[in-house]
Amino acid sequence: MSEREYEIVVDAVYCKGCGLCVEFCPQGKFSLAEEPNKHGVRVAVVDPDVRCTGCRQCAMICPDAAVRICRLVPAGGDAGPPAGSETAKT
Ligand code: SF4
Ligand code: SF4
């Protein structure tokens, strides 16, 4: 069976740039944008080259529910759960 793959989406509208996801992701998938947005916030960005294990720490620690974890079904995939996204927001 294939390992599951995950995609992380940060909702820039809600992100306040606190950096908790940067600190807590064990994979180092997050960083803060070099430049602030029009509100003066350096929002969190994800590195697509860093593998996400789906541990959910980022979504749990984010105080603004700005992190969404999408589980991807591999092409030609296994007979796992149906395709779609899992929203870690509460
Ligand atoms: S789910 Fe885990 S590994 Fe994936 S980005 Fe969040 S903290 Fe990092
Ligand atoms: S923890 Fe949430 S609010 Fe803080 S930088 Fe990360 S995505 Fe943005």
Written out in words, the top-level CATH class of the domain with range 5-72 is: alpha beta
For residue 59, the ligand 1 atom closest to its alpha carbon is 6
pLDDT at 1 over 80: no
Domain extents for the chain? 5-72
- Please report the beta strands in 5-82, taking only residues with DSSP state E, as ranges in sequence order: 5-10, 30-32, 44-46, 67-72
- Locate the ligand 1 atom nearest the alpha carbon of residue 46 and give its number: 5
Radius of gyration of the chain (CA): 14
8 pLDDT above the threshold of 90 = yes
Q: What is the pTM of this model?
A: 0.81
pLDDT digits (tens, 9 = 90+) for 54-81: 999 999 999 999 999 999 877 665 545 5
- The rounded distance, in Å, linking the Cα atoms of 78 and 84 is 14
For residue 72, the model assigns a pLDDT of: 87
pLDDT of residue 90: 43
DSSP H or E stretch at residue 74: none
Q: Closest Cα partner for 21 from 49, 42, 5, 38? A: 42
Lookup: tokens for 82: 């149906």
Task: Please give all residues whose beta carbon lies within 6 A of any atom in ligand 2, as ranges.
Answer: 10, 15-21, 44, 61-62, 64, 66-67
